[in-house]
Structure 1
């Protein structure tokens, strides 16, 4: 999906004029929730780039740079970007249907893989790099500032920036009016269903070639960044008002300057920046930039960006979370079934917003071994499978969802379990993997060592 919704805060001629708190609230309300009938869909797929035949071998920055230079010459419909650690991301244009989105991204991925293969490189679908420590590939002022900001709370930020990958599904915000497709219901559903999606699609159980004790270590990393940067606002109120307050009270990552390094203030919220006016008054451009530095599990950008799904294995593994999520949000019958299925989970999400509450913690740690998450997942995947033909899905897509339901969901498994099984039964990571009995299980221990 396009970033135009967040960029629009700085499009007017007064983009460099200082803003007030009231103006920020009005701008955020207008920018981040654009309602109407759900008509378009998008997906952002991130991949780790590794040696094609032996993905555990690191790729030099020089080879990555040469590969990306070659890829920039390839005509693609999706936007190709590079993440700080060298991960590749394809962001689809807004699509009028599920199959249009699948077709566009599949074609672009095929072109990307062909170019990479000529240099002996390939794409690996996993939520966190299981082999290599995080290292920065991009050295730009934005990422220098982000790294300096996140380093204050420990190494989790570097893992997020440089070693993680996801499937991000982008949905229209929904109708203004109440109902299964109303924006308030969809906002609430995204945060409750999000835990089910974390559990079902968990695919990052390893760091440094060792099990971490978490099926989605990627989700653990995001939680350790902290609620100000990576948390959601409370769900007990109007989504627009809640998000506006959250944006005002979230920490400022940096104060940008035309020349030289950017300032990285400590403990400065956007609200306090407005009130103090120091080191200079914030502008609409600063607000637009500030919104891009917040990483909640559901980010409103005119549309809703669901950011909690680990990257998936296989060339086409990303299609299953895209199809399931689209069906559960855009088909009225499936949306109602999903709402009923996750409603009993809501109490477990208290008192903290996602992803820092007990429900999301259990989803990331144990996946579908949790009985309530399992029950909700079985119901939601079944409802999605019934809805997909109504959304025009092909047999190939519905079959892929059915296979995932049978192979993983009904067996209380997720793709992370395959990685752990391979580690226990054969040489996944090269010489000398440590036995699973030595795996760290304390919260965050694997990240901090």
Structure 2
């Protein structure tokens, strides 16, 4: 959720209201910046837990003390704190896959060392498997967000305070058609996105119990509503489709210089530009509105792929980063991925992601779904062949190969490992109770 979190301050820009036509032109210009794919980025979110007893909640006081220390530690990746106290590192744009991996790996080593001194660690999982959502940050933005999302049920609080992800950022691509062109990359991101959901699903538990979904995190995103977490159908021109979506999406809040922010109900940005109530919207309001939309593929000049659950292990995040980079930036792998996901598009029924049958099946069933499994095997195999061409080190290539062998080839995802561990714990507990009775 690496978004602008600053308050509005003086909001002096409010004097310059924007019209509906100006909003459409601005969105077309700022959200898609085309050119040869050259840079890559990743945003990694983590739950923070007690090293000795991960199931126990960390007190807000301990979190605040640890984060106060981290704010004084030099890092190359900006560090932000999410509403529930999750920690996020956002890499600077990197010129290569290995530059991105090296920067974030070094920063994570530093962060882990600082946290370990306070008895804390990082947990890579898409949703907290033990604790209920609890908000750590108390700011006008998050007060307004919570009030807005509560209207659709409890999923918003789970998304804000108990979820974590790996978000991969790729360039928007060429203006011209082709496998590295904007329109094809936009389409590929939405079809391949379901494969990435299934292959990296890692959130099957809430409150220590299975939810019936491999990616409960993805389920919660769908439950907060299509206007907030949905996307336009990926066919056609991305700029026009996204501009319409931005204008027709509900406004989360109207910021104020002081006091709580207004949380209107049902007011779209298009209606706001026409009504000028409760006050005229400005360019600053548009910029802020863009940060309150959470589609699975968010255009921010580049394309931000937001559908991947946080991964287990210190370096688990590297595999989705490497696979995604290969499938977007290597022409041969991109073509293989395009062909592999073409049959899946029919199941999406031209409905917006993630609110279509394909994405829901990916979140619920993971790679036990035969079509998703077949597409994932093809895509991961193509990525594996492409990684040396992208300059990946043998260690990164080996990590992707191991993931392909252990999970993808077998129709499994990390969620299946968590469920297996739970079943094993249940069996051990039952065996222990039997021993006591005898």
TM range (shorter): over 0.9
Q: Deviations over 1:228-258 (max 9, x none)?
A: 0000112232100000000000000000010
* Alpha-carbon shift at residue 426 of structure 1 (Å): 1.8
Equivalent position of 2:146 in the other structure: 147
Would you identify which runs of 4 or more consecutive aligned residues in structure 1 move more than 2 Å? 1-4, 13-16
Counterparts of 2:420 and 2:389, CA distance in 1: 36
Q: Deviations over 1:186-243 (max 9, x none)?
A: 0000000000000000000000000000000000000000100000112232100000
Equivalent position of 1:281 in the other structure: 280
Equivalent position of 2:19 in the other structure: 20
Tell me the secondary structure at the aligned position of residue 355 of structure 1. Answer: coil
* Alpha-carbon shift at residue 410 of structure 1 (Å): 0.4
> Unmatched 5+ residue regions in structure 1?
8-12, 433-449
Equivalent position of 1:242 in the other structure: 241
Pair 1:178 & 2:177 matched: yes
> Unmatched 5+ residue regions in structure 2?
7-11, 431-438
Counterparts of 2:124 and 2:13, CA distance in 1: 43
Tell me the secondary structure at the aligned position of residue 411 of structure 1. Answer: coil
Q: Deviations over 1:253-298 (max 9, x none)?
A: 0000101110000000000011111000100000000000000000
Pair 1:221 & 2:209 matched: no
- Call closer, same or farther: CA 1:77–1:16 in 2, change over 3 Å: farther
Tell me the secondary structure at the aligned position of residue 160 of structure 2. Answer: helix
Pair 1:373 & 2:368 matched: no
Is the CA contact (8 Å cut-off) linking 1:193 and 1:342 kept in structure 2?
yes
- Call closer, same or farther: CA 1:51–1:200 in 2, change over 3 Å: same
TM-score with structure 2 length normalisation? 0.95
* Alpha-carbon shift at residue 16 of structure 1 (Å): 4.3
Is the CA contact (8 Å cut-off) linking 1:34 and 1:302 kept in structure 2?
yes
Is the CA contact (8 Å cut-off) linking 2:155 and 2:221 kept in structure 1?
yes
Is the CA contact (8 Å cut-off) linking 2:82 and 2:161 kept in structure 1?
yes
Pair 1:413 & 2:412 matched: yes
Is the CA contact (8 Å cut-off) linking 1:2 and 1:93 kept in structure 2?
no
Counterparts of 1:18 and 1:350, CA distance in 2: 38
Equivalent position of 2:356 in the other structure: 357
Equivalent position of 2:229 in the other structure: 230
* Alpha-carbon shift at residue 54 of structure 1 (Å): 1.5
Q: Deviations over 1:97-124 (max 9, x none)?
A: 0000000000000000000000000000
Tell me the secondary structure at the aligned position of residue 136 of structure 2. Answer: coil
Is the CA contact (8 Å cut-off) linking 1:2 and 1:94 kept in structure 2?
no
Equivalent position of 1:447 in the other structure: none
Counterparts of 1:388 and 1:236, CA distance in 2: 29
- Call closer, same or farther: CA 1:226–1:3 in 2, change over 3 Å: closer
Tell me the secondary structure at the aligned position of residue 262 of structure 2. Answer: coil
Tell me the secondary structure at the aligned position of residue 152 of structure 1. Answer: helix
- Call closer, same or farther: CA 1:86–1:14 in 2, change over 3 Å: closer
Counterparts of 1:158 and 1:134, CA distance in 2: 6
Equivalent position of 1:385 in the other structure: 384
Counterparts of 1:325 and 1:3, CA distance in 2: 22
- Call closer, same or farther: CA 1:3–1:294 in 2, change over 3 Å: closer
* Alpha-carbon shift at residue 35 of structure 1 (Å): 0.2
Equivalent position of 1:55 in the other structure: 54
Equivalent position of 1:187 in the other structure: 186
Counterparts of 2:2 and 2:99, CA distance in 1: 16
Is the CA contact (8 Å cut-off) linking 2:85 and 2:135 kept in structure 1?
yes
Tell me the secondary structure at the aligned position of residue 45 of structure 1. Answer: strand
Tell me the secondary structure at the aligned position of residue 408 of structure 1. Answer: helix
RMSD: 2.0
Counterparts of 1:2 and 1:167, CA distance in 2: 11
Counterparts of 1:197 and 1:235, CA distance in 2: 17
Q: What number of residue pairs does the alignment pair up? A: 427
TM-score with structure 1 length normalisation? 0.93
